Every structure is written in structure tokens, then in C-alpha cells.
Structure 1
Amino acid sequence: MWFPALRSRSSIAAVAALCVGLPMVLPAPVLAQKAPQQAPAAAPAPAPASSGPASVRYDIGYEIFHPVRSQNGMVASEHRLATEIGLDILKRGGNAVDAAVAVGFALAVVLPNAGNVGGGGFMIVHDAAGGKDVAIDFREMAPAKAFRDMYLDAEGKVVPNRSLYTHLAVGIPGTVAGLAHALEKYGTMPLADVMAPAIRLAREGFTVTPQLAGLLEVERDQLGKWDATRAIFFKGDRPLTAGETLVNPDLANSLEMIARQGPKAFYEGEIAEKIAAEMAKHGGAITKEDLKAYKVVEREPVSGSYRGYTVKSMPPPSSGGTHIIQMLNMLERWPLKEYGPVSARSIHLMAESMKLAYADRAEYLGDPDFTKVPVKGLTSRKYADELAAKIDPETATPASSIKPGKPAPYESDQTTHYSVADSRGNVVSTTYTLNLNFGSGIVAAGTGILLNNEMDDFSAKPGVPNAFGLIGGEANAIQPFKRPLSSMSPTIVLKDGKPWLVTGSPGGSRIITTTMETVINHIDFAMNPAEAAALPRVHHQWTPDELRVEKGLSPDTIRLLEQMGHKIAVKPTMGRTQTIQLREDGLYGFSDPRNPDGMTLGY
């Protein structure tokens, strides 16, 4: 049977509880999110007149999962230390951009599997004073020596791991340029001030968490190949373990140079020389001239509306914003609120819209500076009408029968995300990455900087999947100084023209669907950030033809989906959202419990 229509926060929370296997005790890091920084809670709603004896009058709340609450500012990131640094910047009078840049550099130290200065990413800024939203593109670029078939052998076959774990896998990093650009244009504090906490952490060290220790163990073979990498992350012949101290003096020196000299230190100075030397020694493609040629680009966010809210997200070379809006356009025609969260009907409709969107992604998305991307057509409501007409509300459509649509007529994993909101109405949504865990695993000798393996996000050969199973076409073929296609989807949602939700997630190809489900959970199901993060997630990316789900869906729901024709695959958790909701009575935020190191704090 279908989940009944859910019309109250109590029934929504009850379903969320059932879906994650409650009753349960939340882990300590999650509970800690609600501790001292929380503002006084609003007065509870009065108990119903028929509430019964006094002994049960404590049953007055509707929320099972409680977000962090504050009044003046909030930071949500994947590591407690980075969040604390961002919050301190806000308390010192910095704005959301100042805090976001501080968090970005701090995560490069304490979250080395994803935080970075050797990678790239995207940032969406809502500039309250300027009354505008801007998308800052600091995605990596292919070096001048890159060419279309650089990862193929003499027979035209893709060489395993060449685009992942060699020096040829590294794209020109953009993070330093992007963070510095954001600070200079939209921040208020000097670069040296916002970088000082990260420098101190790198020089003095920090305690390795069980989460980081587990990742180091998983990646020990790749990390252990390189002397400069082993010097940072190993103790003797093994990776660092939980409770030990990770110190990175070379990274501290690199960050100090950037703080003193600005981004030129990275792109033209001593750091650039060391990166170029690392490449030359091991057959890499990046030169000092490539680093000097790197440019940050400001773009117009892709924008759409959903049930009266305005959704703004990252445009190409991210595919995320375009397809989030494309899917929301399709889903708006169905009353998801009545169907209920994680019901078979809601999941089915989301999965069918995902298939159609990811088929278009494979065909049309790429770097807009090199190929025409029909964003207007893909996000057109008339095009959504055409696509939605292909969706059978009762039966799954086999992926093999889905082909990319024709939007032209309507044309008139590892990654981290963090969100920041200040007291002035500014918000920042940032997603940046090294690609896979610890990127290529290569540290440029003498810099302490892990280098990305983002070249794998290009289409090495049309029709051949990348590390995340995504298919690409000519629009995402390799070219010099081109930016590879991304799924990163930093997103803000506006209500009556003002920020209402700031969110995003890591997760490779699952970023897009995780972010879309977060938006739906807040708008359709009236969830708070904690409730939205607690629900099991689903994902379909057209190929492979499987509906990926997290554990927690009821057997009845899975059986109904299978009866509709879906091939269900229960796999590890997806996404680690960092979400802030801006309400009339203050800020509500939560760090996804899928990462025990995440932390949201406010004041």
C-alpha cells in the first residue's frame, strides 16, 4: 500500500524515524551540534485541549530530529575545527564570505581527503548589500599539453587509472584563485587574517579522527606510492591512526606564502615552481605557464522556481544546477506532499525524472566556454512538459529505452560542501573537491599540497564511464584549458527574494540528486535541516539501470518499487549535506549524520 498522505510535522517525523530504524540513540557528534551555541528555543506550541492527563502533557513537540538554532550567524561544514574557525570569523565581525574563505583553507588542513588548495570548485554567493547572486567558478582546467585521446592506448582503449592515479590525472588547480577572488570582491577582511587559523593547524597539527583514520587505511596503497605523501600521512610503514597527530609543516609554509603574497605565490611564485618540478619529474603535463594562465570566472547562477520558491544553483561547467531545476520542473506537476516522503510513489517519480535528466547530461553538458550548452532549453518548463509526458506514474521505464531529449527548440566523490550565513543577510554555498579521496594521492614535493585527479571528469572516450559510472560525450571531451564537467551543486533557495535555504553535498554523481532531495524535503514535506538529513536517499543516473537506495527503506516500499519495474540496489550512504535554513525566528542548521566529523555551529 502507499504511504498515506502526510499532512503534519508529527507524521513526517514519524516516517523519518521509521526510515532510519528508530528507536535509536544519536551518536555523540550529532548530539553535540545542539550544545552550547544553540540560542534559546522558541516557546513550545500549546498542547491540544484534549491532551489528556498531566502525566503526558510533555508530548507537545513535533520534531524528532532537532537542528542547531542561532540568531546571528551559522556555519555548517564537514569538520568541527573548520566550523569553529568560520564561526570565530563571524563573531569577529567578518561576513559570510570571510568565514567561507577561512573554512575553505581550514578544510584543506583538517579534511585532506576532500578539502584542498590543490583542487577546485564552485561557490554561490548571495550578496545582500549588492542585491545579487553570483556563481564563482574556480573549477580546475586542463593543461596546455592535454589532448582528446591522452588516456587511450594505441588500440584506442582507455588505459586503466591513467586519468586517476598518475601525474597526468592532475588538472590546473583553482581553489586558491577562487577563494582569494571571493574574498577580495565580496569579503571584508585581509587574506592573512582569514588564513591564519589554517596555518596554525597545519603547523601545530590536529588529532586524527576515526573517520579520517579509516579513509587513510582504505587509500593506503595509493597514498603509500609517493614519498612526499607518506611523510605527511604515514607513521613508519602504516597510515596514521585515530588519536595520533597529523602535522603538515610544508603545507603551513605554502599557506603562509599565499597569505603574504596572495594567489601569485601559488600560480607564479615558489609554489608554482615546485608543482611544475613535480610534474616534470614524473611525466605530468602541468607547467608553470599553465599555472600562470589559470583564471577564475564569475557566472550567472542557473535559476528556476519550484512551488513559489526560487532555486539558484551552479551553471555549467557544473551539471548540477541545470539538472536540479530540470527535475524539479518535472516533479512540480505531482502532489508529492500527499504521496509522502520516501513513499514508493514519490521515489518512483523522482527516479524517473532522474533518468531523463542524466540522459541529457551525458549528451549536452560541458564547459560553456568551449561548447554550447542548452541551459535555457534544459530548464524550460515546456521541455519539462515534454519529458514528464514520458513518465508512467505506475511503471518504470527501462534506461535502455531512454535517449537524450531535444531541448534546443526551447532555447530562447571526493568532495566537500559547506554553508555559511551571517547576520547581514549574506549567505555562501561552497562545494570544492580533489575528485576521489585524497585526489591523485600525489603531494607536490616540498609543498604539502595534495593534487587533484579531476582530469577523470572529462570524457576520456565518448560512451566509456568515468570513476563514478557517468557517461560523457563530445561536449565533455578533453581540450587544453577546458574545465571538466562536474556534478557539484552549491545551491541556495530564496523565499520572497530573500535566502531561505543554503545547501549542498559531496558525493560525485550523487550530488545532484542528494541536493534535489534536500530541497524537496524542505519545501514539499516541511522538514527542518535535521529531519531532511535523516531520511534515506535514492539515486538513479540513467546508466547503470539501477535505483540505488540507502538502507532504511521498508521492505514494503522496496517491494512496491520492484513491482513497478525498478532494479533496487542497496548501497553505502550517499551525500553529506551541510544545510542552513533561514526562518523569521532565526537560523536552523544541521550537518549530515553520515559524516560523524561534521559540525554545525551558530551564535
Structure 2
Amino acid sequence: MKNSYKNLIYLLLAIFATWQAWELSRDNTNGAVSSTSKIASDVGIDILQQGGNAFDAIVATGFALAVTSPSNGNIGGGGFLVAHTADGKSVSLDFREKAPRLSYQQMFLNENGDYDRTVALESHKSSGVPGTVNGLLKILNDYGSGKLTLEEILAPAIHYAENGFIVNTTTAYSFNAYRDQFGKDNGTKKIFIKENEWTNGDVIVQKDLANTLRLIAQFGNKGFYEGKIADLIVEEMNKNGGLITKQDLLDYDSVYRAPVVGTYKDYTIVSMGPPSSGGALVIQMLNTLENFDLKSMKRNSTEFVHLLTETQRLAYADRATHLGDPDFWNNPIEMLTSKEYAKERLTLISMNTATPSSEIAHGTWKDKESVETTHYSVMDKKGNVAGITTTLNLSYGNKKVVDGAGFLLNNEMDDFSSKPGVGNAFGLIGFDANAIQPFKRPLSSMTPTIVLNNNNEAILTVGAAGGARIITAVLQILVSILDHGLEIDEAIDTPRTHSQWLPDQIFYEKESLSKKTIQELKELNHTLEPAKYSIARSHGIQLKNGKFITGSDKRGSRDGNQASTY
């Protein structure tokens, strides 16, 4: 017995010594991963330590998030990549979900012609054709280091699905909060409901998901979009009134798009273009704000919040009218992101009074030619930077698991404009540019963004989760870093406000505005409303003086910083 205790002590000392040596070897100069899950972030770091690059790491992190962060990490949804390679090339990949071939414009309207929220958000009809698997595999194939096989990249995700992972406080709280909704679907119930409530330290095992990931590791896209998993998806649809067919799955392909690029002072801003609206709006708003001395304005002062609000209203009015899937709609990106257009719209801003949204029209195009999302980022020491924002739309999508395959379905079809002038789940208004149409990708607010210095080197990557609030959160983080000199962790933690074209309100987080500022904004004819939930949840990485600084939003987390560096 004494020898057993002695051996145990030696083992623990050896483990501690190894951990201590590893901790001391981490000087934050080799790479960084920021995500909503510490497990997934550590998976990415492990890939970097094995000799992989940022693209290998972001793919491994993405698949790990599908296991460890099921409310938003996924293989049943879609997203966007914005990246900057070590050789100076900026790229963006659209792996957004697509409307099935059987979809139609009025599919979420009831017999009275009114928007049916339940059908749009909770039915199998709400699911678009998933793009995440195709997108992640394309990233790996085109930009991965080639040093690691697909099986090695997916091995950690398979391990955590097969053997389980320890549920933290945030995940346990989330599982319990959605217990009633999980109970409505047999496949979901089997995975996410247990006899008692979830608590920190419980272990969740997802055998079916492990088998699905194993098929992807073995057969690539064919392991998901063909064969057994495709059969299970279509069977799930046919049993429950969904629209996705085998041909929809076979036809899916992610698409490289030209990134939206702008300048702000001495920096270059690289972000995602349509069908994401985020990049164009962030650049449009930065172009407007560039005409003001933001450094002289105190953050979240009356003057600062008023200016932000007026700028955001103008941009969101343009979003509602001008932006949609570029395969179906001619987006005036050059106009929206031009310095000249910003100066034209600037004339509509008064610093003395708020402009009612009812009086704000979208800009005239002179033709010259969701809330639950997750963002994760990787930087490596060679200069590769990748940021992905991915989503199921609402938390846990439509709360429907593909029975036998173990993954949740998205409810992205609600991101289309179901009826002109009627808001979606995030209150976003849309018109013809974003109307439902077969094979179309819905407009999104996801805004993965990279900032380059004047040497064309990436110094910052950031993005957020939170539906319509993503865009304004990314904007405020950029301003906090580029104008006010904050580091990314401080910039992410700074309390935020949000406003869009409609509803005509300023939403503000607790402690973001003083009583004096609130009163002064009211005197400028603003309507203010305390935010009922956080104004987005952001993650990002900053390279400063040769070291990586990570930002991992405390909003929505009960478990601290989930990022990793080495």
C-alpha cells in the first residue's frame, strides 16, 4: 500500500513538472487560438505544436467546437472564413447554408399571410443545406500545411465525442435552460437531457456524433454529403416535413468570394463580403467615423454614443435594402465602402439631435457597372491568420438532432426576409434583396475581420456572436483598439451599446452608460433601453510587440478566458 501511495506521489510530481515546464515554455510568441471553448482552443494549440499551421488549427478547432460547444459550434450549420496568409494574400470563403431547391418565398407565412415564427424557427423547414463540413475541408485542402492528415485533424473531436468531455458551468447552465425545448425532439432528448439537471463536472458522451466525424475523417465530403449521413439527413427531413433532398446535399459547395477591403487611418480592414453584410457595414461606418476625432471623445460619453448611433442607423438602413446573396443580387459594395459615399451620408448626421429612423432612407445606388453564433481565430508564428464565424442561427438551431447522426440542424432559413418589412428573430428588416429563393444563401451579420498594418502584416483578428449586434460589437472593438489604444482583451471587455435602423432605440449594457449620459442622450431625442442580454460575444487575437494577446469575451461565459497561447 505504501509503495502504491509512493508511486502515485511520483506520478503526480512528474505530471506537475511536465505541466510546469510546458507553462514556462509558453512565451506567447508561437501562436494563439481564441474560441468559446477552452477544450477546442487547446485542440488548436496542439495542432500548432505538431507543426500544423493556422489553417490546420482552425479546422481542428472548428470540428472540436461541434462537440464541445453544441449551441453554436456545428457541422449542421454554416459560416464564413476571412484569412491572411503568410505570403500576404487575403482570402474569404463563404460556406453559408443554402436554401433547398423546394423552398419558396412564402413558406413561413400562415393562411392569413402573416409571418409564422414557430415554423420559421422550430420546424425542420427552417433548415438550410449545411455548409460547415464542406467549408472546413476546403480550407484544409487549399491552405493546410499538408503535414497532418484529415484523420489527425479530426482525432481530437472524435475523442471528445466518443469518450465524452467534462461539462463546465456555462455549458451546464445552457443545457438546463433549454431542457424543455430539447424534450420536444427524440434525437435531441437522447443527447442533451438526463434524469437530473446538468452540473459542472458532468460528462457528456456523443457516440453518434463520433461516428459521423469518423466518416468525415475517412471519406471527406462524401462521408457527410453522401452515403449513410446523407441518408439520415434526408430521412429526418422526410419524416418531419423538412425540405432538404439528397440532390441538395450533393450539389452543395462553398465559394471563395473577394474580401471586402477598406482603409481606416493607417490600417487596412479586411472582412467578409455578401452574403455577409458585416464587412461592408463595418467599413462604411469606419469611413464615417474617420471624419471625427474619436481620440478626443471619451468612450461611451454622450458625444461618442450619439455619433455611433447615428452612424449605425445609416448603415443598417442600407443593409436592409442593398445587400443579399451575390449569386442572386447585384450588391453595390464599391459604393457602400467608398469614402465619397461616407461623406455624402455624413451630411445626414447632426451632433445636436437624434434623427428618427423613420426619416432615414437608404442611399441611392448610382449603378456604375442570428443570436447564436460563435467566432474563433488562430494566428501562427509564420504570419498566417484565420478567423471563422459559424452558426446554427439561434442557440442549438431548431433544437432538432439528426437521429442516428448526432448533430443539430440549423434554422438559418429565418435569416431570409420572409415578408418585406417584417423583422426576423433578431429584429432585422429585409426586402427583395434577401427574399427566400431556392439555392440562395441568406444574408448574415457575421463579421470575421482582420486588420493589417502598413507592411501588409496581420496584427489583429476579431469577430463575434450575437445576430444583428455582431456588426456594432466588432466596430466598437476596432475603435477601442485603433483609436483609444486598448489591447484586445480590454477592448472586448469594454461595455457596449447597440443601435440599428429599426427598432429606433439605443440598447446599452449595464454599467456602459452613466445616469448623466443617459439623461443627455434622452435630451438629444434618443430612446434608450437596457439590453436584456449581452451585446454580442467576441473573440479575437492581437499581435503586439511580437507577442500574441488573446481576447475571450466574459459575456455569456461563467468559466473565464477560453483562449490559448503558446
Above 0.5 in TM-score?
yes
Tell me the residue number matched to 2:250.
292
1:118-517 matched pairs, under 5 angstroms? 118-129=76-87, 131-188=88-145, 189-236=148-195, 240-408=198-366, 411=368, 413-496=371-454, 497-517=456-476
Q: In structure 2, which of residues 48, 51, 56 is the aligned counterpart of residue 90 of structure 1?
A: 48
Tell me the residue number matched to 1:602.
565
* CA-to-aligned-CA distance 1:517-539 (integer Å, 9 cap, x gap): 11111000010012101211011
Compared with structure 1, are the counterparts of its residues 478 and 141 closer, same or farther at alpha carbon in structure 2 (3 Å cutoff)? Answer: same
Compared with structure 1, are the counterparts of its residues 377 and 528 closer, same or farther at alpha carbon in structure 2 (3 Å cutoff)? Answer: same
Q: Which moved more, 1:436-445 or 1:205-214?
A: 205-214
Compared with structure 1, are the counterparts of its residues 288 and 36 closer, same or farther at alpha carbon in structure 2 (3 Å cutoff)? Answer: farther
By how many angstroms is 1:585 displaced? Answer: 2.8
By how many angstroms is 1:560 displaced? Answer: 1.7
Compared with structure 1, are the counterparts of its residues 38 and 471 closer, same or farther at alpha carbon in structure 2 (3 Å cutoff)? Answer: farther
Q: Matched residue pairs, number?
A: 539
Q: Give the AA of the match of 1:167.
A: H
Compared with structure 1, are the counterparts of its residues 288 and 353 closer, same or farther at alpha carbon in structure 2 (3 Å cutoff)? Answer: same
Query: Residue 318 of structure 1: SS of its match in structure 2?
Result: coil
Whether contact under 8 Å (2:169, 2:558) holds in the other structure is no
* CA-to-aligned-CA distance 1:193-242 (integer Å, 9 cap, x gap): 11100000001111222211222222222211111101000113x55333
By how many angstroms is 1:39 displaced? Answer: 7.5
* CA-to-aligned-CA distance 1:89-137 (integer Å, 9 cap, x gap): 11111000000000000000010000000000001111113x3111010
State the distance in 2 between where 1:570 and 1:69 align. Answer: 41
Whether contact under 8 Å (1:165, 1:222) holds in the other structure is no
Unaligned runs of 5+ in 1: 1-34, 41-67
State the distance in 1 between where 2:535 and 2:176 align. Answer: 20
By how many angstroms is 1:269 displaced? Answer: 1.6
Query: Residue 382 of structure 1: SS of its match in structure 2?
Result: helix
By how many angstroms is 1:69 displaced? Answer: 6.7
State the distance in 1 between where 2:181 and 2:457 align. Answer: 45
State the distance in 2 between where 1:287 and 1:565 align. Answer: 51
By how many angstroms is 1:408 displaced? Answer: 2.9
Query: Residue 117 of structure 2: SS of its match in structure 1?
Result: coil
Q: In structure 2, which of residues 498, 503, 516 is the aligned counterpart of residue 556 of structure 1?
A: 516
Query: Residue 548 of structure 2: SS of its match in structure 1?
Result: strand
Kindly report the root-mean-square deviation, in angstroms, between the aligned alpha carbons of the 2 structures.
Answer: 1.5
State the distance in 2 between where 1:100 and 1:117 align. Answer: 14
Whether contact under 8 Å (1:38, 1:70) holds in the other structure is no
Query: Residue 563 of structure 2: SS of its match in structure 1?
Result: strand
Unaligned runs of 5+ in 2: 1-19
By how many angstroms is 1:37 displaced? Answer: 7.5
Whether contact under 8 Å (2:173, 2:198) holds in the other structure is no
Q: Which moved more, 1:183-192 or 1:420-429?
A: 183-192
Tell me the residue number matched to 2:543.
582
Runs of 4+ in 1 over 4 A off after TM superposition: 35-40
State the distance in 1 between where 2:541 and 2:246 align. Answer: 40
State the distance in 2 between where 1:97 and 1:314 align. Answer: 17
State the distance in 1 between where 2:274 and 2:27 align. Answer: 34
Query: Residue 235 of structure 1: SS of its match in structure 2?
Result: coil
Whether contact under 8 Å (1:355, 1:542) holds in the other structure is yes
Query: Residue 162 of structure 1: SS of its match in structure 2?
Result: helix
Q: Give the AA of the match of 2:516.
A: D
Whether contact under 8 Å (2:161, 2:205) holds in the other structure is yes
Whether contact under 8 Å (1:37, 1:601) holds in the other structure is no
State the distance in 2 between where 1:585 and 1:322 align. Answer: 30
Q: Give the AA of the match of 2:202.
A: E
Query: Residue 269 of structure 2: SS of its match in structure 1?
Result: strand
